[in-house]
Amino acid sequence: MSRAFRSLTSALAISAAALGAAACAESAETGGAASGSGTAAGDIKIGAVLDITGAGASLGVPERQTLEMLAEKVNADGGVNGRKIRLLVEDNQSTEDGAAKAASKLLSTENVDILLGASRTGPSLAMRPLAEQAKTPMISLAANQKIVDGSTWVFKTAQNDRVVLERIVDDLKAQGLKKVAVARDASGFGEGVPEMLAEIGKPAGIEVVHVEKFAPDATDFTAQMVNIRNAKPDATLIWGIPPAASLAQVSYERLGPKVPVYQSHGIGNQVFLDTAKDSADGLRAALGRMLVADQLAADDPQKEVVTQFISDYKAKYNQNPSTFAGHAYDGFMIAIESLKKAGTDPNRLRDAIEQTSDWPGISGVFTMTPEDHSGLTKEALVMVTVDSGKWKVLEGAS
Amino acid sequence: MSDFLQLVFSGLALGAVYGLVALGFVAIFSVREIVNLVQGEYAALAGLSAISAVTAGVPLLLAVVLVVPLVVLVSVVIERLAIRPVHRMTPLVSIILTLGISTALKAVMLLVWGPEAHRLPEFPGRDLVIGGVSIQAQELWILGTAAVVGYAVVWFYEHTGAGKALRACAEQPIAARLVGISPRTATMVAFAIAGLVGAVAGVVSSPIYLSSWNHGLTLGLKGFVAATLGGLVSFRVAMLGGLFLGVLESLVAGYGATGYRDAVAFVVLLLVLLVRPQGLALKASGVRV
């Protein structure tokens, strides 16, 4: 019996140890001061907390690359008012506690002048109270409106889920689709989405008939798709980020009802197309203009900045930037513009960010106000589909 | 009814992957009392290597065939460098040791392939719909491969002289040595087999479930739970345990809440440990396999 008892103790030890390992194994990536310059007292410290490993990796990696590229560029151009930028990047391992830990390290040990991140909603919400308490401006790169609702020091650059849903509701209306099933990310990004969709869609007679959830690291979507099929909707909205959103898309095409499928702005990267492959053809999504930069009108206010960013990014990393890279660009450049105007005094810097107006970025044209710390309306989005593995503007979509 | 069958079928495909990983745990534990936590990493490594090979232009099936011996080699090297030098190996030492290797291997995979998940192209074949149940060709590949590999492993351990020699090492290490069986060679062969089943699990599952650097952890844990159903020594129960776990997860997600899916394995683990820690297959006397 001692053998059996041993395997019992060992089994328990494994589960505990392996779970612990999950937390410590991922803290590999640190650092990333792109300037390479010294730590002179005059440097401006920009701290960034990103989802570099874990479920948000497809967002955090391009964001880090973008920040490093821009910091290098700003420093090469002489910095901000003669002061160099020092970029400090921390990995939150796509967890809330990782984000809180990294943020408090940057705020209290490094005394950063401004905080960027996180990549996703959950970790961003974990950082928010820390930035508010430290009275340091923070610009999140995530989507959920809760991040900035009623905030003083926190701003964000990704399009609000609300404006995305407004865009999608417009399209549902135009298509005459009324009963919508939702499969949403079970983490912060999907929080409250079905409720908001029901609220925005109500005047148009659009209702949410079924809601399914999936974990951000889920791999099997059979159960969700079977349940959605049984709800017999007119259209389905999948709200998540890759790889989960791609696997859901693949599963939907195979098992779901044969009705139009909408995806959120969480899918705006090459990883989605690579992992969803031909299942993505024909989906409808409300996305920023960058993915369809080549199809923009010449007089589009974003055309120049978007085209420039894409060519810079391609030259450095030999791949197309994702929309998330765009969110990082917007966050970093709004920070730089405001630092140029106001310097590093926290109060003046905060006010400068809040006064950002008609500023063409990658995700849209930003106008911040004391009430709106997100700065984008539904005009920042276009309805896009996928055709043979390429993003394509939907002609005639509202 | 077709919903039920759909959930069961998807669960079987997922469960076959768990079962393959479980075979790896048993392959080693039934020879020496080593719990090899690198088992899940073999699958991730195989999937990612195959994806790199395909990206480099190697035809899919050739890439798959090339990757398997590579992972077998990695497993044998791990045995040679980390397991063999340890003189007094106990299950606890093996857990700590292989946990370290697993962490190191994950870090290497993170550096080489980056943090994003990747997907291997699907194996050839056409998807079917039978009686309202949608069946992917890839799922048939998974089930077929699991059946073939599982049968081969059982046959090797139970019907060949070499396989019996391996088990003799576990029963009576000293007697085995007296009749000319080398426990060293036996351990090495066991690690090779574990590498083989892990690699197969990794390549057949990648087209559906993707591969990423940290994918091995969950897969390893679920495989381990399946293996404990067989007391870590029965191949048959380990494979069936994997299938059972896959189906149970799928049904819980379908009829309960999807959030509980990943809890299923741990509830099963707790129940097994509380009720029958020797596994479902063994009599209390502890006769192996």
Q: Is residue B264 part of a domain?
A: no
Residue B144: other Cβ atoms inside 10 A = 12
pLDDT tens-digit readout, A220-274: 899 999 999 999 999 999 999 888 999 999 999 989 899 999 999 989 888 899 8
A101 band by pLDDT with thresholds 50, 70 and 90? very high
Task: Give me the pLDDT at residue A253, please.
Answer: 92
Minimum CA–CA partner of A19 in chain B: B217
Q: Are B201 and B43 in contact (CB under 8 A)?
A: yes
At A202 the pLDDT is 95
**A353-392 per-position pLDDT tens digit:** 999 999 999 999 999 999 999 999 988 899 999 999 899 9
- Segment A116-162, tens digit of pLDDT: 989 999 999 999 999 999 999 999 999 888 899 999 999 999 988 88
Lowest-pLDDT range of A311-315, B76-80, B226-230, B272-276: B272-276
pLDDT mean over A42-67: 92
3-state secondary structure A10-55: HHHHHHHHHHHHHHHHCCCCCCCCCCCCCCCCCCEEEEEEECCCCC
Specify whether the CB–CB gap between A119 and A56 falls below 8 A: yes
Task: Say whether residue B269 is in contact with chain A using an 8 A CB cutoff.
Answer: yes
B102 interface with A at CB cutoff 8 Å: yes
The answer to whether residue B1 neighbours chain A at the CB level (below 8 Å) is: no
- Residue A179: phi and psi, rounded to 5, are -95, 115
Q: Of A13, A25, A230, which has the smallest distance from its Cβ to B103's Cβ?
A: A25
Q: Which of B214, B221, B267, B289 to mutate to test the interface with A (most CBs of A within 10 A)?
A: B214
| Residue B162 maps to a domain | yes
Residue A24 in this model has a pLDDT that exceeds 60: no
Query: Residue B20 above 90 pLDDT?
Result: yes
Record: fold of A161-287+381-393: Rossmann fold (3.40.50)
pLDDT of residue A396: 58
β-strand A85-91 against A382-387: which pairing, if any? unpaired
For the segment B224-260, what is each residue's pLDDT rounded down to a tens digit? 999 999 888 899 999 999 999 999 999 999 888 887 8
Give domain status of residue B48, yes or no.
Answer: yes
Give the model's pLDDT for residue A28: 36
Of B30 and B17, more confident = B17
A358's CB contacts (< 8 A; 6+ apart) are A365, A366, A367
A18 at the B interface (CB within 8 A)?
Answer: yes
- Where does the pLDDT of residue A217 fall: very low under 50, low under 70, confident under 90, or very high at 90 and above? confident
Q: A341 pLDDT exceeds 70?
A: yes
- The more confident residue out of B33 and A334 is A334
Is B237 within a domain?
no
Alpha-carbon span A119 to A92, nearest angstrom? 9
Per CATH, A44-158+305-367 and A161-287+381-393 having the same topology is answered yes
Which pLDDT value is given to residue B112?
A: 94
- How far is it, in rounded angstroms, from Cα A169 to Cα A161? 12
Cβ of residue A66 closer than 8 Å to a chain B Cβ: no
Averaged pLDDT for residues A204-208: 94
What pLDDT shows up at residue B2? 82
> What residues 228-267 of chain A have any CB closer than 8 A to a CB of chain B?
230, 242-243, 246-247, 254-255
Q: Please check whether residue B62 lies inside any domain of the structure.
A: yes
pLDDT exceeds 50 at position A19: no
Count up the domains in chain B and report the number.
1
CA distance A270 to chain B (A): 11
Report chain A's terminal Cα–Cα distance, integer Å: 71
Which domain range does residue B119 map to?
20-217
Average pLDDT rounded to a whole number, residues A339-352: 94
Please tell me if residue A271 touches chain B, with a CB cutoff of 8 Å. yes
User: For A155-159, A168-172, B182-186, B255-259, which range has the lowest pLDDT when averaged over its residues?
Assistant: B255-259
ipTM: 0.79
Which of A:310-339 have CB within 8 Å of B? none
pLDDT recorded at residue B281: 63
Query: What pLDDT digit, counting tens, does each position of A259-317 carry?
Result: 999 999 989 888 899 889 889 999 999 998 988 988 988 888 999 999 999 999 999 99
- Whether the pLDDT of residue A29 is over 50: the answer is no
Tell whether domain A44-158+305-367 is in CATH 3.40.50.2300.
Answer: yes
In a domain? residue B285: no
The reply to whether B287 falls in a domain is no
For residue A2, pLDDT over 80 is answered with no
pLDDT of residue A34: 39
Query: Of A39-43, B11-15, B227-231, where does the model show the most confidence?
Result: B11-15
Domain spans, chain A: 44-158+305-367, 161-287+381-393
Report pTM: 0.80
**Strand runs (DSSP E) across B128-242, as ranges?**
128-130, 133-135
Q: What is the pLDDT of residue B182?
A: 87
Q: Percent of chain B beyond pLDDT 70?
A: 97
pLDDT given for residue A33 in this prediction: 40
Are the beta carbons of B95 and A10 separated by less than 8 Å?
Answer: yes
In a domain, B229, yes or no: no
Give the Cα separation of A322 and A360 in Å (integer): 17
Q: Which of A191, A242, A291 is nearest to A56 (CA)?
A: A242
CB A121 within 8 A of CB A191: yes
Q: How confident is the model at residue A39 (pLDDT cuts 50, 70, 90)?
A: very low
Query: What's the pLDDT band for B284 if we cut at 50, 70, 90?
Result: very low
B210 and A6: CB-CB below 8 Å? no
Report the distance separating Cα B120 and Cα B239, nearest Å: 24
Interface of B with A in 112-141 (CB under 8 A): 114-119, 127, 134, 136
So what's the pLDDT on residue B282?
57
